[in-house]
Amino acid sequence: MRASRAILTAVVLLGSMPVLGQQSGYAGGPWNFAASASAQEKKGSATADPNYVIGAQDVLDISVWKEAELTRTVPVRPDGKISLPLLNDVQAAGLTPTQLATEITTSLKKFVTDPQVTVIVTQINSQRIYVMGEVNRAGAYPLLPGMTLLQGLSSAGGFTQFASLKKIYMFRTEAGKQVKYPFNYKDVVSGKRSDENVTLKAGDTIVVP
């Protein structure tokens, strides 16, 4: 009988306890704070370089202070433009985030009093290189600052057994024309042709035959 009363008392006590996160002063509890912090990280800048030039397929966070209906995250279209309320199409590619913010601010002055605009690059999708052919992981890879052709190849996870290491080449578009750069992997790693290990640019395509 005493055991039954003890169990009943415990059940009553548990039922009367407030749920963590619903107590006054918790504002949703520590889990909501963590989720909020995570969301802020996802909205963070993808680059701290003030000279970064926006390109097609990048994703931008356009924030207009105290104008929630004008604040949004938008992708840069293949034509280099973004779509914004009131302004319609705005050229973004070829500008730095600061330059774009200035352009948007100037345009919004026709509709908003003293607009304050912030532009943050949240995803860098325009700065990519491509590796294809006899490699373990062909595909597109982010272009890192100062990345060389040899480093670009390392992103693809090594060569297959059929790779012709002396006949690798890279395509680059220059002045509207496609230029082919030879790359002899064995000579480069042995130090014989270090000049072939050029610094990569966005859009370069490395081919391993």
pLDDT confidence of residue 68 = 93
In the CATH hierarchy, which fold is given to the domain comprising 59-123? Answer: wza like fold (3.30.1950)
Report pLDDT for 148: 95
When pLDDT is averaged across residues 153-174 and rounded to a whole number, the result is 95
User: What is the per-residue pLDDT for 43?
Assistant: 52
Type of residue numbered 20: L
- DSSP of 151-177, one letter per residue? HHHHHTT-B-TT--TTSEEEEEEETTE
Judge whether residue 9 has pLDDT over 90: no
pLDDT at 184: 96
If 0-12 CB within 10 Å is exposed, 13-18 middle and 19+ buried, where does residue 81 land?
A: middle
Which position has the higher pLDDT, 167 or 24? 167
Q: pTM value?
A: 0.58
- Spans of all domains in the chain: 2-42, 59-123, 128-208
Mean pLDDT over 125-138 rounds to 94
Region 166-170 average pLDDT: 96
CATH topology of domain 128-208: Outer membrane lipoprotein wza fold like (3.10.560)
Instruction: Name the band, by pLDDT with cuts 50, 70 and 90, for residue 7.
Output: very low
